[in-house]
Structure 1
């Protein structure tokens, strides 16, 4: 027997209309926040960042590829990882579908990680992706945008992530973090040297400016699957770290998905 509230269609409709008013208010607030993001002042970038790409060595300006706007997803894939972070992988599963739409709107999307390019491209092939992915290993890009912390920074508890201290007691890492680290082929302290995020840039008169960055739960809206789960009857309904890289769920779940998609 269900323990959830049950109502007539008329009662449900009244409750749904109340919720709709709240959803509309949230939509308007989200629109206003987007305008505030776009109104942020720009910061001129004077450092010459370099990346390894499939086309060879590239500057940050080169990544725009003829567009005036650039979005970079800071994908957690450290130099010592054997595989990309499963959380970042879940986010990136949506990139292939909308990257073409962004390009038509004068926006270029890249993923960038510290791992060597051959390792990134091999993982991209394994996951069936095709979006552009650059290795930021040749420069301080990840460190400067607060998504990489050196051994010295970790030991001193120095550095900033999500606009606050990045210090995490290395001997108190939660078990789920250690499990994810092991799934990436590394240990906990090494795993959290890299962090997820996204940064936006604009190219104007040959000059690159940094316009926006978001981290941690500021990336929630980019987890496309979560937007669907939030509308499912039981929502996210999470118990621990339930997600996996696509293709790594247990055989029962895989067979269920396969049968539904025939």
Structure 2
């Protein structure tokens, strides 16, 4: 039996490699600046007020949408595909969850992150234990939350990320992305970039009055933030 070797990039001299790399880095830097501009535009998106009194089942009992903020101003909701009649969670959503950052880094920027699925809490807790996760996961079973947020449709379940901001007890939805829009998520930077306040650093192009600190000055090890 004959086997073919996998294809390889061209092999060149160190000088040629340096030249090719330098040319690519110019394009990568341009892409970074374009992403910065897009993030700045996202921070200026208008919002829609959430009027419904949604209820969720969690490990401490039934809670409200406001409770999911856990006292913080911003909330990232990952809509995890897990329908009530499924025996286990979506494998693609599981990939996304296992790339999520340590939540302490988001909490340090006044931002909470939760998972929400339609399956009953008992199923969520069982799958969570199987996967070894400790992320907060809530069931929207029996409510209109998933349908209202566009992730449960007549065609089936969808995954996605909703960004919410609260002002006192008033809650607003500022952003949503789904499908391949979640593929780049996997660090606290990319999650914070989705929120109205962004990374909250002085270099960012943000509207006047946004909370900001000097770059990196707020960053600590996850067990060093305190409360």
Alignment TM class, shorter chain as reference: 0.7 to 0.9
Deviations 1:72-118 (A, max 9, x none): 000011101111111000000123x4212101110000000000001
CA drift at 1:4: 2.5
Note the aligned Cα RMSD (angstroms): 1.6
Q: In 2, Cα distance between the equivalents of 1:124 and 1:34?
A: 32
- 1:63 and 2:68 correspond: yes
Which blocks of at least 5 consecutive residues in structure 2 are unaligned? 191-227
**Secondary structure of 2:71's aligned partner:** coil
Which blocks of at least 5 consecutive residues in structure 1 are unaligned? 155-192, 228-262
Partner of 1:125: 129
Choose the corresponding residue for 1:12, options 17, 24, 27: 17
Give the structure with the higher percent helix. 1
The answer (yes or no) to whether the contact 1:199–1:213 under 8 Å persists in 2 is yes
* 69 and 6 in structure 1: CA distance in 2 versus 1, 3 angstrom threshold: same
Matches within 5 A, 1:26-175: 26-95=31-100, 97-149=101-153, 153-154=154-155
Alignment length, in residue pairs? 183
Q: In 1, Cα distance between the equivalents of 2:51 and 2:8?
A: 60
* Off by >3 Å, runs of 4+ in structure 1: none
CA drift at 1:42: 1.0
Deviations 1:16-60 (A, max 9, x none): 000000000011111111111111001111111111111111111
The answer (yes or no) to whether the contact 1:52–1:138 under 8 Å persists in 2 is no
**TM-score normalized with structure 2 length:** 0.77
**TM-score normalized with structure 1 length:** 0.67
The answer (yes or no) to whether the contact 1:71–1:107 under 8 Å persists in 2 is yes
Partner of 1:211: 174
CA drift at 1:223: 5.4
The answer (yes or no) to whether the contact 1:90–1:223 under 8 Å persists in 2 is no
